[in-house]
Structure 1
């Protein structure tokens, strides 16, 4: 399955999970809202009853309250399905009328709101409440605040009758239901967010693993192809040279015979160098290679490499020198091989003539060695991944200019060697103009005083 299909499947699955979470939260919200509504309905009549008792108790202590219960069987037959509820409602209305008519005390909204809010808070609903008196049509006659009780942002209790003639009703209002709801759902919301974050992280992690596995598979394929391609030519040369030498035809031509032996040796060394490079890279990546650091002469290393590539190159090479630091503290063998890779790239990826400039010096607490060439340069889109292992992204473009596709180990080797020394590598390049690689190595104070024998060029 292609990566893009896996990503689409992951996106669809994530959308489905988000949708399920949304449905779950909406249903939970509705249930919480219904729970608050139900608790408000249950507690408001009790709060109203406590308020009327408190109102009556504020009158003279020697007051006597007389209450008659009038029951009309035909009129109140439907209400008698729940006698207890009917009796409590009747008594509540009677108390309200007695307080108003006999004691001239109407509903105290301040006391009612305080009692109602305290009751809600005691069961875990810290609500802001209001109350009002409405008529049979729902029109507000009096209220404890200027709040629109018919608005969408409030929860209202059912009208509670406070007069036997059905003209006055008491109604409670929760003015901040959403805050109460979300406060009740705090843990649920946090759990949902954590679950969603965890799911998203897991999905992204799984996709990254799949992408990485796909990349590893492609790298394995590229490695096999590149290894075979890079070994085919020297192996063919060795086999062909061996067959010619076995025939004995060159026994009478010692110079030609020596030339064939030299070719066989060079090709064998090339294969050995490639094998050692792969093994060294593996050790560097696994931090298993022990570096043998010492003071290295920069000029002598570069001069040896310059002569080597100038002798075997078929193109014209011009070297320029700007060495301000003669020594660095490093593993000479690994550093020399890294510099060799940079020079090899400069020669490969250039035209019929190339100019290579070597520079060295000290910058801050680091020593640097630069290899600047006037080759084809590296496209900007490839510069961010040019140091990756087996990277041959721009091989096709380079081949058009006569460059070699390469095996894709050289620059990764340079990076690994620099990192093993605690240093770094930087690249500056403009396509079609130049490339400049800089190896930075940490400063070593005790290496500065040491001298290095070198030949001035």
Structure 2
């Protein structure tokens, strides 16, 4: 794969992760706004009710005077939710105050002030405005803060409460969160994430560039070697011929030219190695690991924050249902028992005077009932010259009113029923789709001594508890709910942020993983380059140097009177030239195969004499103990190019000697079948690791572990040469080996 393609894929992946991250943040922002809108609605209706109720209390009439009647059709005595009934009552009372009692308008500033205090208790910081609007035209008639707009993307709007429905006038609240602060937080989180992701991708790209550059340099070095080896063929052949004529000056001059060219190629290769070693990529790996740790910490911090926010939401939901259960227990359980135990009790035991407007309204409602049978649910607004503060919603306020009445007026104690409240509580949770189990606990306060409980008596780590609900005036007896093990719910409801962060973490992990792989590949390339350079020194430079020095000594005439040394020098120079020619011939042949220009001169080659000649040759010049065993019938032959066959078998025997210990047994065998001739070279050497067997036939590939153990050198062309030549004959090469035990190469040649 090209470097440009890899970089493009990395950048596309980075952009995809960033877009997913942005999507998760926007989703989280939307979820937070929805939650803020619910809280704003609850606080707005409490503030509106509080403002309207206290306007009634400030009317210039005696205490307990009934000022306004709010009513709603109720044909089947259907039970209406307390909060909904309170909303309807407050809106009717607001209109009656303006139409009947001359209140000019419901004061927006008062609603704003009350609402601001309630929001501040919930840590909902933002810019607040309360508007009076015409719902028919959507025109804003008045506002406590005109600078706050409903169009602000970080603003939430409450429901509308009618103040004069017949005129279409209503009020609403708008809470605008500090957009710049929210943008800063989102941008900060985004920038940190993008910086970590970008750093990891940058480090990976730099690492890949380094590897690709090193690979390119190595390929260039190999190509230079190819060129040099091809160009060396004819000069070396000429030097070999000149040895027989004892033209030492010409041999010295020719070998010196080849030596200089080899030295120049080698110097360039060494410079490339030094240049690659100067910018070690270890620091890039450290940067990537730091990025990985950073994303992990970001994931942990953000997960903790989301856990806290979601647990607060679950606590709020549980409190809402507990409020309903508390109200229903007071209204449907304790109050009926109270009226039964106190039959003479009357809510209106201290009746106030009906003012003219509510009296007229009662008469009209009664008349309609008599004439048409319509039933209405009636709510009385009574004047009490004190400030009523609505810090609880209407249900809880009514529950406390009932509870206080029972405590003060009942002749017999009527205790709170935990079982009744728990049954209502569980039913409410099921109806609202609450996924977790929750119990109710009754305790003494402040000692928190357990009185009664449902479910488990213990509060385990991770459980969420609601606020306390007092059961008496001095709050010495309270109830609260425990939500059991909500972790699964929290995780399932925060996936929109967890998933992008997890993807970012996995992305950086992949970057680090691939960078470590790149680092290993780079180290392998460095080692390969060093081995290749060493092979150039051993297999090209050293032989040339030996020939050059030998020719110089022989040309000086110093050995004229020493015939034995003269013969030995000539033998060594001939062997070195033979070695260089063998290397050059392999390179030339591989080049011809690659170009499709190789010409094979096939013939029936007697196999046993060939194997015997190769064995004798290597046994004579080997520096270690070698035992040959030839298993081949006399008439066995191979249909192949005689020169190529000799070269590939010599290469396999040479490898068997190189990659072995001080003593080795080599078995050369051959047999003919109906379809092919099979030649095997088996040795008792150090073997080939299983992990490296699949790549030993690659060009310039050598078994690193074997090279280190035996000190063997070479360019890694031998087995590739064997494979290419056998394939050119239409045959196959197989290898079987066990590390530390043996290696066996099988050559299969088709018949004529």
**Corresponding position of 1:40:** 318
Q: CA 1:153/1:336 → structure 2, altered by over 3 Å: closer, same or farther?
A: same
Q: CA deviation at 1:205?
A: 1.0
Q: Does 1:378 align with 2:686?
A: yes
Note if contact 1:149-1:156 (Cα within 8 Å) is conserved in structure 2.
no
Q: Does 1:154 align with 2:460?
A: no
Q: CA deviation at 1:25?
A: 2.0
Q: Deviations over 1:366-387 (max 9, x none)?
A: 997543457xx43999996994
TM-score by length of 2: 0.43
**Corresponding position of 2:745:** 439
Q: CA 1:268/1:142 → structure 2, altered by over 3 Å: closer, same or farther?
A: same
**Corresponding position of 2:423:** 111
Note if contact 2:443-2:450 (Cα within 8 Å) is conserved in structure 1.
yes
Q: Which among 701, 707, 715 is matched to residue 389 of structure 1?
A: 701
Q: Distance in 1 between matches of 2:422 and 2:628?
A: 96
Q: Which among 412, 418, 439 is matched to residue 130 of structure 1?
A: 439
3-state SS, counterpart of residue 83 of structure 1: coil
Q: Distance in 2 between matches of 1:188 and 1:295?
A: 74
**Corresponding position of 1:173:** 482
Q: CA deviation at 1:117?
A: 0.9
Q: CA deviation at 1:203?
A: 0.7
Q: Deviations over 1:186-230 (max 9, x none)?
A: 455455444333322221211221231233233223323321331
Note if contact 2:688-2:737 (Cα within 8 Å) is conserved in structure 1.
no
Q: Does 1:230 align with 2:542?
A: no
Q: Distance in 2 between matches of 1:266 and 1:203?
A: 51
Q: Distance in 2 between matches of 1:64 and 1:423?
A: 111
**Corresponding position of 1:406:** 713
Note if contact 2:670-2:678 (Cα within 8 Å) is conserved in structure 1.
yes
Which sits farther off after the overlay, 108-117 or 165-174?
A: 165-174
Q: Which among 735, 739, 748 is matched to residue 425 of structure 1?
A: 735
Q: Deviations over 1:163-190 (max 9, x none)?
A: 5565654422212322322332345545
Q: Deviations over 1:216-255 (max 9, x none)?
A: 23322332332133123443466578889999xxxxxxxx
Q: Which among 650, 659, 667 is matched to residue 340 of structure 1?
A: 650
3-state SS, counterpart of residue 220 of structure 1: helix
Which sits farther off after the overlay, 100-109 or 199-208?
A: 100-109
Which sits farther off after the overlay, 213-222 or 8-17?
A: 8-17
Q: CA deviation at 1:327?
A: 7.2
**Corresponding position of 2:527:** 218
Note if contact 1:390-1:408 (Cα within 8 Å) is conserved in structure 2.
yes
**Corresponding position of 2:55:** none
Q: CA 1:51/1:369 → structure 2, altered by over 3 Å: closer, same or farther?
A: farther
Q: Which among 15, 25, 29 is matched to residue 307 of structure 2?
A: 29
Q: Distance in 2 between matches of 1:112 and 1:276?
A: 95
Note if contact 2:470-2:477 (Cα within 8 Å) is conserved in structure 1.
yes
Q: Deviations over 1:262-282 (max 9, x none)?
A: 998875554343235356678
Note if contact 1:44-1:172 (Cα within 8 Å) is conserved in structure 2.
yes
TM-score by length of 1: 0.65
Q: Distance in 1 between matches of 2:392 and 2:328?
A: 17
Which sits farther off after the overlay, 331-340 or 171-180?
A: 331-340
Q: CA deviation at 1:309?
A: 3.9
Q: How do 1:81-96 and structure 2 match up within 5 A?
A: 82-83=389-390, 85=392, 89-95=396-402
- Unpaired stretches in structure 1, ≥5 consecutive residues: 248-256, 400-404, 452-457
Q: Distance in 2 between matches of 1:352 and 1:91?
A: 101
Q: CA deviation at 1:54?
A: 5.7
Q: CA deviation at 1:321?
A: 1.5
3-state SS, counterpart of residue 85 of structure 1: coil
Q: CA 1:34/1:328 → structure 2, altered by over 3 Å: closer, same or farther?
A: farther
Note if contact 1:369-1:438 (Cα within 8 Å) is conserved in structure 2.
no
Q: CA 1:186/1:339 → structure 2, altered by over 3 Å: closer, same or farther?
A: farther
Note if contact 1:426-1:438 (Cα within 8 Å) is conserved in structure 2.
yes
3-state SS, counterpart of residue 392 of structure 2: helix
Q: How do 1:319-330 and structure 2 match up within 5 A?
A: 319-323=628-632
Q: Deviations over 1:376-422 (max 9, x none)?
A: x43999996994825566667646xxxxx432426653785599666
- Unpaired stretches in structure 2, ≥5 consecutive residues: 1-278, 338-342, 351-381, 557-565
3-state SS, counterpart of residue 339 of structure 1: helix
Q: Does 1:14 align with 2:292?
A: yes
Q: CA deviation at 1:344?
A: 1.9
Note if contact 1:159-1:169 (Cα within 8 Å) is conserved in structure 2.
yes
**Corresponding position of 2:236:** none
Aligned length: 416
Q: Distance in 2 between matches of 1:188 and 1:366?
A: 66
Q: Distance in 2 between matches of 1:426 and 1:148?
A: 70
Q: Does 1:359 align with 2:669?
A: yes
Structure exhibiting the larger radius of gyration computed from Cα positions: 2
Q: Distance in 1 between matches of 2:411 and 2:421?
A: 19
Q: CA 1:390/1:141 → structure 2, altered by over 3 Å: closer, same or farther?
A: closer
3-state SS, counterpart of residue 520 of structure 2: helix
Q: Distance in 1 between matches of 2:689 and 2:651?
A: 22
Q: CA 1:44/1:231 → structure 2, altered by over 3 Å: closer, same or farther?
A: same
Q: Distance in 2 between matches of 1:69 and 1:270?
A: 125
3-state SS, counterpart of residue 207 of structure 1: helix
CA-based RMSD: 5.8
